A and B are shown apart, each in its own frame.
Chain A
Amino acid sequence: MIRCILAFLLCNLLCLATAAAETLSLDTSQIEFDDEVIPILTRAGCNSGSCHGAAVGRGGFHLSLWGSNPQEDYTEIAREFEGRRLNIKQPVESLLLKKPTGTIDHEGGAILDVDSQSWKILHDWIQQGGKRTLAKRLTRLEIQFNQTSLTSDAAIFLPLDRSGTLSAVAHFDSLPAKNINHLVAVTIPDASGLEFDLPSMQLTALRPGIHTVIVRYGDQVHTLQVLTPQTSTAQTASASPSGPQSMIDLWLDQRREILKQQAAPAADDATLLRRVMLDLIGRAPMLEEIDEYVKSSDFDKYERLIERLMSSPEYVDFWTYHWTRVFGLRPNSNAPEGLQRFYQWMHEQIAADRNWDTVTRELITASGDCHAKSPAFFMLLANDPRQQAEQLSRWFMGVRMECANCHDHPLDRWKQDDYHGLAAVFARIERKQFVRWLDRGAVTNPRTGLPAIAQLPGGPRFSSSGDVRSELATWMIEHPDSLLARATVNRIWYHFFGRGLVQPIDDMRLTNPATHPQLLEELTESFRSHHYDVAHLVRQIVLSSAYRRRAPATATESQLDLTYNFGPRKIVSPDILLDLIDTATGSLIPISNDESVKRSIQLQDPTAPSPTLDALGRCSRSETCQPVSATSSLTLMLHWINGETLNERIQNERHWLKLKLRENLDPTETHNQMYLRTLCRYPQENERYLFLKSLEQLSEREREDFWEDVFWALLSSKDFLENR
């Protein structure tokens, strides 16, 4: 009895003591683990992916990446290793202080100076007992530039000859706001454009353009855009080449004006014709088409051209090719006819101009017989649930979820549970000819070691173990961030401009902002309100002035052009390139064994035998198809010079050049046609003069060789090989 009373009193005393301790912890001189110690470690880079934040840690010390899990970090620092990391009695003897100062051998080097502010915080925390209490809670991280608070989408204007100061203010629950300049971690992705001095928080621009600054504290990340104008003669942006300002041009021009940059003039008719035909129907214009378009004086010839192209069967073929390439459509032995059926199904959807949200929903929820004309084969494009989750998040959300496989995504809000939870949505799909939902199957969440529970990324878990793909599709479509709409808009923008508003296009995250955030917002909103009408979006883009500008002439011009001062300049894929070569040379060489295939973009199966396409480097679609620069392939260049692909097509007696020479026309006429067939333009005066002069000095026999060589050069020039 007495023992009970004593125990009761003891408990009460302990409670009072704890309460007293809690009151003590609200004392502002008490250093908080979550709010101060972890940020110091983040700021010093201790918990970065190349150091202790790696999936396996370093040197036996493992911290959560960027301090995302303070609870585990506290255990690791204060409890693990038999508590040897902290020495409460003699704080300077703590490993936590000796290692980063280099007092003890530290592979990471000496990153903190003894007696620096960061060091003092760690030291004092240890001296105060090295505890973790949860007294404060960060509600908001506010960033100020030159004392002015920045709203979430405001950009900083920073001319070259001036610098500015950043400040970071933390807002807590029921406590006054506090300046935390000494606690934030600041990253400058492009150090050649922007200089930042951490101690003074001073920002200096090193060159004109758009720059990014990432400020991180606790679980909040702010990405700031810095705009630095050109300093050379403050010229205003040139007026848009033609027509009324579209919404796209308004936003692009606005940013260009701030940056005091100049837009290039419009591309000439022939160049624009070739560009828009390649982008809409995947081929170059024929001679008659060039003549007709260039010579026409109709004020709306461009608009009518767009309409003609978009209502042609070639448009449907090309966009079916485009999307099947994005999805990596390739054969699967589990459903031998599945590839063709899926191709036909996609073709039908595009021909009917179906709304993209409906198409996406049908793809994500596809089931049934792959050998029927259905989207079922879509599920077989992945080998396992994780791959499927990664694909879908890249294609439909524009997110690289795979970074969250082994640890919480280092640069965005996705957690490991999100990744494995998304994979779990696809865990029970049987990927055979009949795609269906099984009653068994799971993916293991490596964090828990247990089967992952299906959940929406960042969202609620599903309670049932049934097929929840429909809910996933709904979430992607109706998400407040308009994930599907935004990713699709960005991807289609990329198709026309060679660069997404967010680049890379499947890597949209908080720390990778769009070059023109408000433009992306408006286009996304417009896409949504037009019921995900792809044709409408396409028209908005191709009818803009930005799309119709002259392309950059050099690599430098294009690399720095984040403001769309120039029109697009893009690489042509091997399939389209082969079609270009075949058309220009009048080739009769069949593309494949299937006679119905007249253009290589009609080839449904990327593994169908075609040595020519292989020689040109066609993508097998087992990985994403990335456009690659020519400078990488010696084998292709040798083939280009000495191999069959080009040479046979030039030399063959039944192809255009030889047939034309047999007609014995005036060489000027043939020369003109040769230029039109390749560069879509007439030769310039000096080109024609030099050509004719060289030609007449040759004998009959030598002349044919000469024609071949000129033709080869035209077919090898950048103006032919690229989409400018």
Chain B
Amino acid sequence: MAHRSISFPRRDFLQIGSIPLLGLGLTAFGATPILCDNQGSAKSCILIWLDGGPSHLETFDPKPSAPLEVRGPFQSIPTSMPGIAFSEVMPNLAGIADKLCLIRSVTSPLGEHNIANHYLLTGYQPSPSLTYPSFGSVVSHLRESANPLPAYMALNEFRPTAGAGFLGPRFDPFLVPHNPKSGELSPKDLTFYPGLDEARLIRRKNFLEQLEQQDRQIESKEGSPKPYSALEQAYRMTLSRDTQRAFRLEEESPQMQQRYGDRLLGQCCLLARRLVERNVAFINIHNNDWDTHADLLRRLKEGYAGAKVGVGLVPLLDQAVSALIEDLESRGLLDSTLVVVMGEFGRTPKINSTGGRDHWPRVFSVMLAGGGVKKGYVHGSSDRTGESPLEGAVTPADLACTIYSLLGISAETTLTTPDGRPIRVNQSGEILKELLA
């Protein structure tokens, strides 16, 4: 990069939730009117973020007739879409390919993790003057809801670039962390502190309201808008039995849990389905370790050396995502839930000296399903060796524009930065009409 370094945190510093201070009840900047009345087909979106850049050649775009150093260690298998093959490590997704919508021709100029994931997660190339908000932040900014659950949630972790940028921390995702010791995937502090119960919580709430009564009386006389209160939502979440239940994955039948698998990604997907059932608008699932500069066989398929049953990244992805899509479909939720599976770029067609692949943004694949996209459709293609788009090249800005459109948000919708600059939700992309059902 020729010019100044962008002040992103280093690659290995993942923000696991920024929690700002207490203070004045002033509304944040950029209080845009609520413009999204959800004309889009998708009411919810589940984004499965494959952090590090998943190899397109080992997943959705294998090249079986390319030379060995390109096609890599895996074979390819036919799918339920005639003429379309997936990598052998994705048998379940291959089986339901006729429900998926695949883009094989996404292209980007950005090959470094931080800037590339900003581009994919916001639809904007990074700029030194502004940090753009990610999809979920925009959605939660534009939608008002009385749902006790927050509109934008992140499961496991989230990249800072999946945050709210200039919209402010209020629209950052609500993090549901994973506790490695207990294996639980649940928000912190959702249950009562030892010794407290519902009655006491309500009593505390009432005391506080009495103390602030005078302020509220003046405010309602002035007709000033009552600012959204995180405190009120915290109460709603704590006191809502249904919200507490949402995170109890053990309520699902053993068959269901087994179908998704007991690994983190599977658990996240299962939780995501439960959240969609409770009308959460945007869920970001963070799946790590896709930056496979070395050792494709072990990392992408086996999981550990010599494994008989592959528990590497791709088999686990295959199991979790296929379970999620089938589950959503059987519950009649697939048409109103957009599922997106992507990372920040693809990987080099030629295998490197450590048996891996390096960064390759020139062409890569993105998988969509549900939410109003065509079923059993492949958009675009890459060339013989998976190096460049052959036809139907799509930029991350186009992808973002399309995602927003499916969620009922038009690209012209204006957001306002803290210093008053109007910024469109999407600037340089176009809706990919061919993807829409």
Contact = CB atoms under 8 A, between A and B. Distances in A.
Contacts of B227: 555, 631
A56 B7 CA distance: 22
Interface stretch (A28-36, A466-474, A711-719): A711-719
Interface string A86-109: 000000000000000000000000
Interface stretch (B234-242, B246-254, B373-381, B396-404): B234-242
A interface, size bucket: 35 or more
B3 interface: yes
Given A554-B219, A640-B231, A633 B2 contact: no
A384 B2 contact: no
A617 B23 CA distance: 12
B215 A632 contact: no
A721 B22 contact: yes
Interface string A620-651: 00110001111111111111111110010001
Contact of B4 (A386, A640, A644): A386
Interface stretch (A173-181, A231-239, A348-356, A570-578): A570-578
B371 to A, nearest CB: 26
B153 to A, nearest CB: 10
A636 B2 contact: no
A584 to B, nearest CB: 14
B28 interface: yes
Contacts of A634: 150, 174, 230, 233-234, 237
Contacts of A627: 21, 23
A709 B207 contact: yes
B165 to A, nearest CB: 13
Contacts of A629: 20-21, 23-26, 28, 170
A553 interface: yes
A464 to B, nearest CB: 25
Contact of A556 (B22, B224, B238): B224
Contacts of A555: 24-27, 219, 224, 227
A676 to B, nearest CB: 15
B211 interface: yes
B169 A633 contact: yes
Interface in B117-134: 128-129
Name A's interface SS. helix
Contacts of A574: 21
B263 interface: no
Nearest to A556: B224
B18 interface: yes
B24 A617 contact: no
B218 A639 contact: no
A189 interface: yes
B212 to A, nearest CB: 6
B interface, size bucket: 35 or more
A651 B214 CA distance: 29
Contact of B23 (A387, A504, A572, A709): A572
A119 to B, nearest CB: 26
B423 to A, nearest CB: 9
A637 B20 contact: no
Name B's interface SS. loop
A710 B150 CA distance: 28
Contacts of B304: none
Given A556-B222, A716-B208, A577 B188 contact: no
Contacts of B421: 50
B201 interface: yes
A164 B229 CA distance: 43
B224 A638 contact: no
Nearest to A690: B210
A636 B230 contact: yes
Contacts of A635: 17, 19, 174-175, 187-189
A572 B21 contact: yes
A631 B224 contact: no
A713 B218 CA distance: 20
Contacts of A722: 23-24
Given A403-B129, A717-B211, A632 B169 contact: yes
A628 B234 CA distance: 18
Given A189-B420, A617-B21, A643-B189, A384 B5 contact: yes
Contacts of A615: 19
A644 B420 CA distance: 39
Contacts of A719: 211
A641 B230 contact: no
A642 B193 contact: yes
A405 interface: yes
A553 B214 contact: yes
B230 A631 contact: yes
B2 A444 contact: yes
B189 A642 contact: yes
Interface in B192-209: 192-193, 195-196, 200-201, 203-204, 207-208
Contact of B237 (A444, A638, A710): A638
Given A643-B188, A713-B208, A559 B26 contact: yes
A713 B22 contact: no
Interface in A512-562: 553-556, 558-559
Contacts of B128: 402, 405-406
Nearest to A646: B193
Contacts, number: 203
A614 interface: yes
Contact of B25 (A403, A628, A631, A643): A631
B233 A636 contact: no
Contact of B19 (A50, A406, A633): A633
B230 A717 contact: no
B190 A713 contact: no
Contact of A632 (B28, B187, B193, B420): B28
A632 B170 contact: yes
A630 B21 CA distance: 6
Interface in A632-674: 632-644, 647, 651
A461 B339 CA distance: 57
B193 A647 contact: yes
Nearest to B18: A617
A151 interface: no
Contact of A639 (B188, B212, B214): B188
A129 interface: no
Nearest to B227: A631
A383 interface: yes
Contacts of B24: 555, 558, 569, 571, 629-630, 718, 722
A412 B128 CA distance: 18
Interface string A182-203: 0000000100000000000000
A717 B129 CA distance: 37
A616 interface: yes
Contact of A641 (B4, B219, B228, B234): B234
Contacts of A558: 24, 26
Interface string B329-370: 000000000000000000000000000000000000000000
Contacts of A387: 4-5, 7
B148 to A, nearest CB: 10
Given A629-B25, A633-B169, A623 B233 contact: no
A446 interface: yes
A705 interface: yes
Ranked 9 nearest A-B pairs via Cβ = A632-B170, A571-B23, A628-B20, A713-B207, A637-B234, A643-B189, A642-B189, A617-B19, A630-B22
14 contacts: A402-B128, A556-B224, A559-B26, A629-B20, A629-B26, A630-B21, A631-B170, A632-B171, A633-B20, A634-B174, A634-B234, A642-B191, A719-B211, A721-B23
Given A384-B4, A402-B4, 13 more contacts: A405-B128, A573-B21, A615-B19, A617-B20, A622-B9, A631-B230, A632-B170, A634-B230, A635-B187, A638-B188, A638-B189, A641-B201, A721-B23
Interface of B: 2-5, 7, 9, 17-28, 128-129, 150, 168-172, 174-175, 187-193, 195-196, 200-201, 203-204, 207-208, 210-212, 214-215, 218-219, 222, 224, 227-231, 233-235, 237-238, 419-422
